[in-house]
A and B are shown apart, each in its own frame.
Chain A
Amino acid sequence: MNLDTTTLIAILAMAAVTYLTRIAGLFVADRLVLTGRAKAAFDAIPPAVLVAVIAPTALTTGWAEAIAAAITAVAAFRLPLLGTVAVGVIAVVVLRNVL
Chain B
Amino acid sequence: MDQANPFVSTPRRDIRAGLRDIAPVAVAAVPIGLLFGAVAVAKGMSPLEVTLMSALVFAGGAQFAAIETWVSPAPILTLAFATLLINARHVLMGASLTPKVRMSRVQTLLAYFFLTDEAWALSERRALERPVTGAYWIAMAVVLWANWTLSSTIGAILGSFLGDPERIGADFAFTALFIGLVAGFGKSRVTLVTVAVSAGVAALVHLFVGAPWHVASGALAGIAAAYLAAPEEARS
Contact = CB atoms under 8 A, between A and B. Distances in A.
Given A48-B223, A54-B179, A89 B59 contact: no
Nearest to A78: B183
Contacts of A57: 68, 172, 175
A45 B219 contact: yes
A49 B223 CA distance: 9
Interface of B is mostly: helix
Interface string A39-65: 111111111111111111111100001
Nearest to A9: B76
A60 B207 CA distance: 8
Contacts of B121: none
Contacts of A24: 90-91, 94
A54 B91 contact: no
Nearest to A28: B95
B134 to A, nearest CB: 15
A10 B56 CA distance: 11
B93 A25 contact: yes
Given A29-B98, A35-B234, A14 B79 contact: yes
A6 B76 CA distance: 8
Interface stretch (B2-10, B124-132, B190-198): B190-198
Contact of B203 (A9, A36, A55, A81): A55
Contacts of B218: 48, 51-52, 55
B174 A54 contact: yes
Interface residues of A, number: 74
Contact residue range for chain B? 35 or more
Contacts of A3: 46, 48-49, 52
A99 interface: no
A98 interface: no
A23 B94 contact: yes
Contacts of A84: 176-177, 179-180, 183
Interface centre among B32, B200, B206 (most CB of A within 10 A): B206
A88 B176 contact: yes
Nearest to B196: A51
Nearest to B98: A29
Considering the complex of A and B, which 3 residue pairs feature the smallest CB-CB distances, nearest first? A25-B94, A88-B176, A52-B218
Interface of B: 28, 31-32, 35, 45-49, 52-53, 56-59, 61-66, 68-69, 72-77, 79-80, 82-99, 105, 108-109, 112-113, 115, 168-170, 172-183, 185, 187, 190-191, 194-195, 198-203, 206-207, 211, 214-236
Interface of A: 1-4, 6-15, 17-19, 21-26, 28-32, 34-60, 65, 68-69, 72-73, 76-77, 79, 81-82, 84-85, 87-90, 92-93, 96
Given A55-B214, A84-B177, 14 more contacts: A1-B48, A10-B80, A17-B80, A21-B84, A22-B90, A24-B94, A32-B95, A39-B230, A44-B227, A47-B195, A48-B223, A50-B86, A69-B175, A76-B183
